[in-house]
Amino acid sequence: MDGFVPNQDAWKTVRDLKRLFGARLGYCKACPFRAECIAVVKPSQAMFDGIAGGRLWCNGLVIDALDDVSDDELAEPKLRPSCGTEAGAKSHSRNDERICPSCRQAAREMDARRQAEKPKQQEQLQLDFAGTT
């Protein structure tokens, strides 16, 4: 997003990054999605420069942070070939990991589909039952 990732020509040192972006950390103060933000951006794995999850990052390392950040927010989800499917979500749960955003979305969609199917299945059961009497 504009203002959260620096133009590579605009900075050279950690001090430049802090000067340019430190004040913008305030945007993350009230944001309820810090953990999700880190899960999506994956700053360590991506060697990210910029603001994500209430922290200012340089080359994937935290160089500044809001006062109230918690280490729990830092767990980056492990990604697998099955990510983005319900099976991927189950793999995360089996391995006691944070579920990645695409698996969470897939699990939500499957739940919604099952909920939508329920009335149809009940209707079919009633029709089957009526047919036997």
Q: Please choose, out of 51-59, 83-91, 96-104, 112-120, the segment that lies near ligand SF4 by the rule CB under 6 A.
A: 51-59
Which of 3, 10, 16, 31 forms a contact with ligand SF4 (CB under 6 A)? 31
54 is a contact residue toward ligand SF4 (CB under 6 A) = yes
Counting beta carbons within 10 angstroms of the beta carbon of residue 126, is it exposed (0 to 12), middle (13 to 18) or buried (19 or more)?
Answer: exposed
55 is a contact residue toward ligand SF4 (CB under 6 A) = no
The residue (of 51 and 103) whose beta carbon lies closer to ligand SF4 is 51
Q: Which tokens go with 38?
A: 């880190």
Residue 1, CA distances (Å) to 35, 50, 52, 64, 128 in order = 17, 10, 10, 19, 55
Enumerate residues 79-108 that contact ligand SF4 by CB under 6 A.
none
Residue 47: what are its φ and ψ, rounded to 5°?
50, 50
Residues contributing to the site for ligand SF4 (CB under 6 A): 4, 27-28, 31, 33-34, 37, 51-54
